[in-house]
């Protein structure tokens, strides 16, 4: 078929130009008058081991020649992908987002890339991601609020570098490294805060999802109240099957109130559950904190902006990334890792100026 004059120039423009030949480190090293190792370090961002003039000269040559480090080839030669997978549920939760952000920063600064997978608290999806990440030859797995599954247990038993964060899945095999806080102690701290305000009727709300973190926080809260002489009859409980803590807090508080009325002091196992409780209190005309003091756990970044009524146990999520990286390195080096329990503190905000 005969081509028109208009079609021919268009096709000529679409033809790819000659491919630029691949430039080697040795070529750049000769041109710059430095060693190949010096060029390699500068190409990979290590700029503090050469004088500024050398760095500028090498960077100019890297730019003009279009050199790019062969990261894939280097990884294959050394048998390392430099990729770490994080599996976490409900990334809309500010606490989860804070953990992910801190971990990504720590890994990136150490030369790793993080892949983030939202498991939505579903065991099957968690297993699907574990299998997919293994096929990508990732170097480690960070499992945040993980769920006990046969596949996860097999990963731990098989010696895969897994670090658990926030809660420990109930696995029958050997324990894996853990990063988090003393959740039982945090629950006791919440109880102390309510007791110090002279309150006598208490409530606690939590989700029905089996979780070591939730169970330990509830146990710590109850144990401290018992130690201080509070009878079990003075403690009401609300529980919800909702997976999202925001909705679980609302539903669990409704259940608690319908069974025994509003408590003077309410403990929510997470800040998001506390938000749900506060929404119900507003709808019912209950003033927080005058009529009901609410204390949560997390002290996420939103509290200082939108929840001046909420006292909360501060969990140092900003420090989790460094601790997680240290645990991964321990596993890579063949060491056990153990538990990394970070410090926590109560941030009291519930003052009567809040309407």
CATH number of the domain enclosing 276: 3.40.50.2300
Indicate whether 349 belongs to any domain: no
Looking at the fold, whether 200 and 308 belong to one and the same domain comes out as: yes
Looking at the fold, whether 279 and 294 belong to one and the same domain comes out as: yes
Looking at the fold, whether 225 and 293 belong to one and the same domain comes out as: yes
* CA dist., res. 287 & res. 280, Å (int): 11
Task: Report the pLDDT value the prediction gives residue 136, as an integer from 0 to 100.
Answer: 84
Looking at the fold, whether 93 and 242 belong to one and the same domain comes out as: no
Helices (H), the chain: 7-14, 25-32, 36-43, 52-65, 71-78, 94-109, 123-135, 150-157, 183-195, 212-227, 245-260, 271-284, 303-306, 320-332
The dihedrals phi and psi of 83, each to the nearest 5 degrees, come to: -120, 135
Looking at the fold, whether 198 and 262 belong to one and the same domain comes out as: yes
Do residues 299 and 313 make contact, with C-beta atoms less than 8 angstroms apart? yes
Indicate whether 37 belongs to any domain: yes
Looking at the fold, whether 39 and 109 belong to one and the same domain comes out as: no
Indicate whether 5 belongs to any domain: no
Task: Report the pLDDT value the prediction gives residue 135, as an integer from 0 to 100.
Answer: 85
Looking at the fold, whether 273 and 170 belong to one and the same domain comes out as: no
Task: Report the pLDDT value the prediction gives residue 318, as an integer from 0 to 100.
Answer: 94
Do residues 189 and 313 make contact, with C-beta atoms less than 8 angstroms apart? yes
Q: Is the peptide bond before 289 cis (omega within 30 degrees of 0)?
A: yes
Domain coverage including residue 45: 20-69
Looking at the fold, whether 30 and 46 belong to one and the same domain comes out as: yes
Looking at the fold, whether 127 and 273 belong to one and the same domain comes out as: no
Helix (H, G, I), strand (E, B), or coil: what is residue 318? helix
Do residues 229 and 200 make contact, with C-beta atoms less than 8 angstroms apart? no
* CA dist., res. 206 & res. 237, Å (int): 8
Indicate whether 160 belongs to any domain: yes
Beta bridge partners of 267: 204, 295
Indicate whether 220 belongs to any domain: yes
Task: Report the pLDDT value the prediction gives residue 339, as an integer from 0 to 100.
Answer: 93
Looking at the fold, whether 248 and 277 belong to one and the same domain comes out as: yes
Q: Which residues contact 239 (CB under 8 A, 6 or more apart)?
A: 205, 206, 207, 208, 252, 255
Indicate whether 355 belongs to any domain: no
Indicate whether 295 belongs to any domain: yes
Task: Report the pLDDT value the prediction gives residue 158, as an integer from 0 to 100.
Answer: 87
Closest CA to 139 of 91, 107, 169, 109: 107
**Residue owning tokens 């506060």:** 278
Closest CA to 213 of 247, 189, 180: 180
**CATH at 64:** 1.10.260.40
Q: What is the pLDDT along the chain (355 residues), one digit of tens a residue?
A: 444 444 444 444 444 444 445 677 788 888 999 887 788 778 866 777 788 889 899 888 888 887 766 554 554 444 567 899 999 998 888 999 999 999 999 999 999 999 999 999 899 999 999 999 988 889 999 999 999 999 999 999 888 999 999 988 888 767 789 999 999 999 999 999 999 999 999 999 999 876 889 999 999 999 999 999 999 999 999 999 988 899 999 999 999 999 999 999 999 999 999 999 999 999 999 999 999 999 999 999 999 999 999 999 999 999 999 999 999 999 998 887 789 999 999 999 866 444 4
Looking at the fold, whether 300 and 323 belong to one and the same domain comes out as: no
Q: How many domains does the chain have?
A: 3
Torsion 28-33-37-39 (CA) sign: negative
In SS3 terms, 219-273 reads as HHHHHHHHHCCCCHHHEEEEEECCCCHHHHHHHHHHHHHHHHCCCCEEEECCHHH
Task: Report the pLDDT value the prediction gives residue 65, as an integer from 0 to 100.
Answer: 83
Which tokens in the block code for residue 90?
């409900």
Looking at the fold, whether 123 and 217 belong to one and the same domain comes out as: no
Indicate whether 12 belongs to any domain: no
């Amino acid at each position: 078929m005969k081509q028109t004059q208009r079609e021919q120039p268009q096709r000529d423009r679409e033809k790819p130009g000659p491919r630029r030949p691949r430039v080697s480190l040795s070529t750049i090293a000769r041109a710059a008058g430095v060693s190949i190792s010096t060029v390699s370090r500068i190409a990979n961002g290590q700029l503090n081991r050469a004088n500024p003039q050398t760095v500028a000269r090498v960077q100019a040559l890297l730019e003009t020649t279009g050199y790019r480090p062969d990261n894939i080839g280097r990884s294959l030669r050394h048998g390392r992908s430099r990729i770490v997978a994080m599996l976490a549920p409900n990334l809309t939760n500010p606490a989860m987002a804070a953990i992910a952000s801190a971990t990504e920063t720590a890994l990136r600064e150490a030369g790793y890339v993080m892949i983030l997978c939202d498991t939505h608290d579903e065991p099957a999806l968690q297993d699907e991601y574990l299998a997919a990440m293994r096929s990508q030859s990732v170097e480690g797995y960070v499992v945040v609020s993980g769920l006990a599954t046969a596949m996860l247990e097999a990963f731990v038993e098989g010696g895969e570098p897994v670090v658990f964060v926030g809660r420990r899945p109930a696995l029958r095999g050997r324990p894996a490294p853990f990063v988090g806080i003393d959740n039982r102690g945090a629950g006791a701290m919440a109880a102390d805060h309510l007791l110090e305000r002279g309150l006598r009727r208490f409530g606690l709300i939590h989700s029905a999802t089996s979780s070591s973190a939730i169970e330990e926080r509830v146990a710590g809260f109850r144990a401290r109240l018992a130690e201080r002489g509070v009878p079990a009859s003075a403690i009401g409980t609300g529980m919800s099957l909702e997976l999202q803590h925001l909705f679980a807090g609302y539903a669990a508080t409704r259940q608690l109130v319908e069974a025994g009325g509003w408590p003077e002091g309410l403990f929510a196992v997470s800040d998001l559950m506390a938000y749900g409780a506060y929404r119900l209190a507003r709808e019912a005309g209950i003033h927080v904190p005058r009529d009901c003091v609410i204390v949560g756990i997390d002290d996420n970044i939103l509290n200082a902006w939108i929840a001046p009524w909420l006292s909360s146990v501060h969990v140092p999520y900003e420090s989790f990334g460094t601790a997680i990286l240290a645990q991964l390195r321990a596993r890579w080096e063949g060491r056990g890792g153990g538990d990394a329990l970070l410090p926590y503190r109560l941030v009291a905000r519930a003052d009567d100026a809040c309407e």
